[in-house]
Amino acid sequence: MEKNLKKVRITAILLIVVLIVLIAFSGFYVKKNGVWNNLLPNFNLGMELKGIKELHFVLDDKEEEKEVYLDSEGNYAGEVKEDNSSDTEVSLETEEGETSQEQEDKTNIEGYTKETRTIKANEETNITKENFEKSKKIIQQRLETMKVYEYNIRQDTVTGEIIVEVPDDDNIEIEQSMISTVGKIEVIDEQTGLLLIDNSHIKKAGKLGNYSEGYQAYLQLTFDKEGKDKLKEISNNYQKVTAEDGTEETKYISIKMDNQTISTTYFGSEIANGTIQIPMGNATEDYNEYMKIDESVERIANIINGETIPLSYTLSSDNHINSVITEDTIKTAGIICAVIITLVSLYLIIKFRFDGLKTAILSLGYIAILSIIIRYMNVIITINSIIAFLSVITINYIFNIKFLRELKYKDIKKSLFIENIKELYLAIIPVCIIAIIFTFVPGVVISSIGMVLFWGLLVQALYAGLILL
């Protein structure tokens, strides 16, 4: 009876391992909205396997004639809100029922004068070697903040031009935006264009989310002491009010990043704590859509929390550089590996019969589990990490074959296994040390080797006991 239960247990475990192998190599598909989707993530290929996107950024040379506000000391205080209504006749009414003269009166603010100036994306006084270097440093910090683990960045110290090489993946547009965004935040009077407060008074930024009539993401801005007082005043002035005749009037503010509006809103009450929550996007019932907005808000918050880039860059070109490792090369290498594993499995079965069959299946299971872990741990696959992957697989096969060769008597199976596992890990102590050290090295080429070795040896240690079945 006990012998039969053992056979059932062994069979069940082997079937589970076979199922894991099938899932790892063919995928786990679920039908959603009529489309079959693989729930297993793809391997995260590095630049040398996936290909490189070369982004070439140059200094923005854009110039515009704009009417701006100047305070009593002649300092810039915002751009005058453009009147989009027809100006063929002064008395012509706008869509809101106001004349052009009334619109003009709104932009005449006591204490401020208006002047037409040439606004340059980069003032000549800012184009310095120090600002070139500072811009490069901030771009590096942003790429690391958004966890772009593999990139190359070069700069021409004479012209300030920057070339960034990143993996050619779905994040290209996001990475491009992170590089070309200066990060200047402004809260302005939506009616007039007057600057109310800027990011020099922002202490920190963050993201929030809640669910009421749908998922809603918020950008939270916390201001310093001076900004707190200004925000209190702004929140009292920009509200929805009801006049004596019963009509409602709403004064709006716009929050802009690099002169691009990210939100237009008004206040429901006074804000005295110096913190504002700005709704980003619309409330949605689609959680995946909400998560995309949430990720976008997090990127904006990270930009605000970091330094603003002292120079404005624009994308000049983006070139794709193909990997020297072609798809045909990868397929050929895969076929060679599959043939070698098949031959080793046949050797195990012929040499050790049923124990060999079990070991062959378990070895495939080890490869499958390790490949799944590498996907979920987001390990970047490089040529070096592939070599590390093949190395730990080889170590596993060598251990299994050595154990089966020395196995002569069933009653010493456990003690023989313990002896062999001790011998194995004493022999590979240097490899274990390398795995731990390499895992924490900043460079992707080195860290990917460490992560593959670390997970390979850890899984092998936890998984090896199944050979005692």
Specify which residues 197 forms β-bridges with.
187
Whether the Cβ atoms of residue 100 and residue 83 lie closer than 8 Å to each other: yes
Sheet of 185-189: strand order equals: 195-198, 185-189, 253-257, 260-265
Q: Measure the CA–CA gap between 144 and 128, rounded to whole angstroms.
A: 25
DSSP per position, 61-88: --EEEEEEEE-TTS-EEEEPPP--S--S
- Residues 6 or more apart whose CB falls under 8 angstroms from that of 31 comprise 37
pLDDT of residue 88: 33
Whether the Cβ atoms of residue 35 and residue 290 lie closer than 8 Å to each other: no
Task: Using alpha carbons, select from 132, 134, 192, 189 the residue that is nearest to residue 162.
Answer: 132
- Alpha-carbon distances of 220 from 98, 434, 445, rounded to whole Å: 35, 43, 37
pLDDT per residue as tens, the chain (469 positions):
667 777 788 888 889 989 999 999 888 888 776 778 888 888 888 888 888 889 999 999 999 898 999 988 888 888 888 764 433 333 333 344 555 555 555 677 878 898 898 888 898 899 999 999 999 999 998 888 877 778 889 999 899 999 999 888 777 888 888 888 898 999 999 988 899 998 889 999 999 888 877 889 999 999 999 999 999 999 998 888 777 777 888 889 998 888 888 888 888 888 999 998 888 888 888 888 888 888 888 888 998 898 899 999 999 998 888 887 888 888 898 899 999 999 999 999 999 888 889 889 999 999 999 999 999 988 888 888 999 999 999 999 988 888 888 776 555 667 777 887 888 888 888 888 988 898 888 778 788 899 999 999 888 888 877 766 6
Q: What's the token pair of residue 186?
A: 């402004």
- Spell out the domains of the chain, with CATH numbers in brackets: 2-47+323-468 (1.20.1640), 52-321 (no CATH)
Q: Measure the CA–CA gap between 321 and 163, rounded to whole angstroms.
A: 13
**In which element (H, E) is residue 139 found?**
helix 129-145
Whether the Cβ atoms of residue 23 and residue 358 lie closer than 8 Å to each other: no
Query: How many residues are listed for the chain in this entry?
Result: 469
